[in-house]
Structure 1
Amino acid sequence: MWRHRRLLLALLAAAPFGSLQAQNPQPLTLVVPFAAGSGTDAVARTVGQKLAEKLGQTVVIDNKPGANAQVAAQYVAKAKPDGLTLFMTTNTSHSANPALYKELRYDPIKDFTPIARVGELPFALAVHPSVPAKTLAEFIAYAKANPGKLSYATPNSTSLVAMEAIKRIAGIDIAQIPYKSSPQAMTDLVGGQVQVYVADLGSGMAMLKTDKIRTLAITTARESQILPGVPPVGATVKGFDLTSWNGIFGPAGLPKPVVDRINGALQQVLAEPDTQDKLRQLGFEVWPSKTPEEFTKYVADQLAHWGALIRQSGVKPE
């Protein structure tokens, strides 16, 4: 029996580490900075399931909401760069937060390894039916006639910056009510606790198409195929164009072979018509970067763009 044990140990010692890891791959954790039910969460679960098939390993979704994506960002930034902890995040953590907060406990450039952009998630401005407005122009006129009497929900930076930009350009006074999650913000809009919400199509699609709320405009410069007939905010508020991007990162120092392997698997996943159809049903538009290097440049460009946008909107860093 001892001879058999010595033979087994010798075989294990001689086997390449990579082959053993391939036979018994550890689960990959995909950290999401928003609560379950949010648009980013829905995208992560769709992409994660497909990614697991391509990589041949389990993909676990780990929701870490809080502090406008800072909780999750700090967690991933401190993770071991072994390819087992990844971050599916948005412009909130990597474009907006540096201009929204005086101090961040992570650096969006230095603390992460960009792997791939996944796509973009349009947002729509919706109001509670108690607001007597059927168009964005009517809403602005009503808000001007009732300064300080309306409130809007802000569960993420896109909702915040979009609404603050509209307020500044249109000259209206609406109170901000912070929320920890998109589902709760939508619940309170439906219930009338807040009267306005710029909602992501991912988490808000079901309600945006009902008469429980009234959808007035979308934040992108062009009309959405997902919400046909809903005009862009820019058609009324000149020069307005805002959307939310989504991408996957690893901690800083992620080895290039690992980056390339995950990027390659993602490219395959996002090219599949089935994946694109599922994401489109969530209100998400697939728009992958071709290479990690392209995504790296995009992240830097968006950081500068959002910084300028936030300063123009008049939002003061906390």
Structure 2
Amino acid sequence: MSISRSIFRSSPRRYAIAAKGLALAALASVALAIQPAAAQNFERPVRLIVPFAPGGTSDILARLIGPKLSAAIGQTVVIENKPGAAGNLGADAVAKAPADGHTLLLMDVGSLATAPSLFSDLTYDPNKDLAPVSMVMFGPYVLAVHESIPAKTAQELIAYAKANPNKLAVANSGVGAANHITAVSMAKELGIQWKNVPYKGGAAASRAVVSGESGVIINGSTATLPFVANKQLVGLAVTGEERVAGLPTFKEAGLPGGDAGTWQGILTTAGTPPAMITRLNAEIGKILETPDIKAKIAEQGGVVRAGSPADFSAWLKDATTRWGGIIREAGIKGS
């Protein structure tokens, strides 16, 4: 005899109460089962903020990823360029957005790692107010010059810089940006002096060297190689372990800083439900593995670097400590 039949025979009222309890328990189980799914649903358009001007590496990636992410989550993904303060203006907007996963940040995360050491009045904490979602790619830096600079190789550039202290202007993405720190570190190790000139993002910095306003650039391959290919800039060397577009590596060219480059990642507001971050991480990971996205990133010398939020968080904390030491030693201050 089943338990339910035993209860019914002994007392119909007791059976009714038990049945009601079982029904409520079942409803509760269903509700609990639905909660995780609901927590990762997108209820309105998503803002994907790029804290630099259009045309740079972060902007190019956002416009590659945005449409595919929109299709995956069933909501429009709006790309919003919010340049200023070496990326901090856009990062701050995401840090202060509702913690629901509907506001994302895509940028060179090296800038996030340097910000705490550069700006005493920083209005957010990259390691506390932003939640890593997924790393996106690693892109080597390209060292390039305006055609008027009398250097066709890296060694010729070094010789010219030593013979002409502070004559060369090196464009960067903003004070404290990773390519700025790379230029400072290179100058120290090579024993040269050049002027570091900040712009509002890598695209603006590249255009400044194309126009001859500045003479040298160390910038992400995605944003810089097209200018080299079009003969608007003279490429001298590339970071990383492999040649890109026929350019020698920094190691081959006798330059320090061969492990430098642009690390692009996507973050959201701290406090966003873990289920939402997990969903975003999974969808972005799938997008980055699609053949067309991988091919387009590879065309620009980049390499897909997806991964878990935990791995991204560990990278950011380590970079913050490591690059912070370089900034303090060089006495660099944000403005």
TM-score (norm 2): 0.82
Pairs within 5 Å for 1:11-90: 25-90=43-108
Which whole-Å CA distance do the structure 2 matches of 1:239 and 1:51 have between them? Answer: 34
**Partner in structure 1 of residue 118 of structure 2:** 100
Which whole-Å CA distance do the structure 2 matches of 1:185 and 1:123 have between them? Answer: 13
1:316 counterpart = 2:332 = yes
Alignment equivalent of 1:223, drawn from 233, 242, 255: 242
Which whole-Å CA distance do the structure 1 matches of 2:300 and 2:120 have between them? Answer: 34
Work out the number of aligned pairs and report it.
300
- Closer, same or farther: CA 223–306 of 1 in aligned 2, 3 Å: same
**Partner in structure 1 of residue 137 of structure 2:** 119
Alignment equivalent of 1:298, drawn from 301, 315, 329: 315
**Partner in structure 2 of residue 159 of structure 1:** 179
SS in 1 for 2:128: coil
Which whole-Å CA distance do the structure 2 matches of 1:296 and 1:106 have between them? Answer: 16
8 Å contact from structure 2 (residues 133, 267) kept in 1: yes
- Closer, same or farther: CA 80–22 of 1 in aligned 2, 3 Å: closer
In the TM superposition, what is the alpha-carbon distance from 1:234 to its structure 2 partner?
6.9
8 Å contact from structure 2 (residues 182, 257) kept in 1: no
Which whole-Å CA distance do the structure 2 matches of 1:103 and 1:153 have between them? Answer: 25
Which whole-Å CA distance do the structure 2 matches of 1:229 and 1:182 have between them? Answer: 20
Structure of higher CA gyration radius? 2
- Closer, same or farther: CA 41–54 of 1 in aligned 2, 3 Å: same
In the TM superposition, what is the alpha-carbon distance from 1:239 to its structure 2 partner?
5.7
In the TM superposition, what is the alpha-carbon distance from 1:22 to its structure 2 partner?
9.6
Which whole-Å CA distance do the structure 1 matches of 2:295 and 2:167 have between them? Answer: 41
1:184-223, Cα deviation, whole Å (9 max, x unpaired): 3222212211111112112222112233321111133x12
Which whole-Å CA distance do the structure 2 matches of 1:168 and 1:21 have between them? Answer: 50
Which whole-Å CA distance do the structure 2 matches of 1:317 and 1:72 have between them? Answer: 20
Which whole-Å CA distance do the structure 2 matches of 1:250 and 1:189 have between them? Answer: 33
In the TM superposition, what is the alpha-carbon distance from 1:311 to its structure 2 partner?
3.9
Which whole-Å CA distance do the structure 2 matches of 1:21 and 1:231 have between them? Answer: 46
1:249-306, Cα deviation, whole Å (9 max, x unpaired): 11110001111111111111112112211222344321111x2222221221222222
Which whole-Å CA distance do the structure 2 matches of 1:22 and 1:311 have between them? Answer: 41
8 Å contact from structure 2 (residues 250, 257) kept in 1: no
In the TM superposition, what is the alpha-carbon distance from 1:181 to its structure 2 partner?
2.9
**Partner in structure 2 of residue 307 of structure 1:** 324
Which whole-Å CA distance do the structure 1 matches of 2:86 and 2:184 have between them? Answer: 16
Pairs within 5 Å for 1:254-273: 254-273=272-291
**Partner in structure 1 of residue 206 of structure 2:** 186
Percent identical residues: 34
- Closer, same or farther: CA 173–22 of 1 in aligned 2, 3 Å: closer
Moved more, 24-33 or 160-169: 24-33
In the TM superposition, what is the alpha-carbon distance from 1:240 to its structure 2 partner?
4.4
Q: Which amino acid aligns with 1:316?
A: I
SS in 2 for 1:134: coil
Structure 2, unmatched stretches of 5+, are 1-33
Alignment equivalent of 1:198, drawn from 218, 241, 251: 218
8 Å contact from structure 1 (residues 74, 106) kept in 2: yes
1:251 counterpart = 2:291 = no
8 Å contact from structure 2 (residues 46, 104) kept in 1: yes
Which whole-Å CA distance do the structure 1 matches of 2:328 and 2:39 have between them? Answer: 48
In the TM superposition, what is the alpha-carbon distance from 1:17 to its structure 2 partner?
10
SS in 1 for 2:138: strand
Moved more, 24-33 or 143-152: 24-33
